[in-house]
Amino acid sequence: MNTDLSWSDFEKVEMRVGTIVAVDDFPEARKPAYQLTIDFGTELGIKKSSAQITERYSKEELLNKQIIAVVNFPRKQIGKFFSECLVLGSVGDDNDIVLLTSDLKVSNGLRIG
């Protein structure tokens, strides 16, 4: 299914760079996942997200990693946890996720566009 977006539609999606500052197990999740705490800089601050990336990434690999996330979705409740942003990644053949990252360290909160 290919639905074209207008430029104004794209501009509504707020993607930002953030650094993962904490990674916790999420045993209550139906599928294996981590609870991520992400620093998006002074403007947006700290946000939390749940990510099903346990197959490819260890907690140690994720700590201090810069990622790309959509930060203007409504909060989503997953059990007792509230996800405040959507961490982006490409989906492989086995549904494993490869995170979208910056190849150079940049300031947290920079907008992707």
Note the pLDDT tens digit of each residue in 29-44. 888 999 999 999 999 9
Q: Is residue 48 included in any domain, yes or no?
A: yes
Q: What is the pLDDT of residue 1?
A: 64
The runs of H, that is alpha helices, within 1-113 are: 7-12, 41-44, 59-62
The pTM of the full predicted model, rounded to 2 decimals, is 0.91
Segments of the chain with pLDDT less than 70: 1
Q: Is residue 43 included in any domain, yes or no?
A: yes
CA-to-CA separations, 36 to 40, 42, 100, 101, 106, in angstroms, rounded: 12, 18, 15, 15, 19
Structural domain for 87, as ranges = 12-102
Q: Could you give the number of structural domains in the chain?
A: 1
Q: Is residue 108 included in any domain, yes or no?
A: no
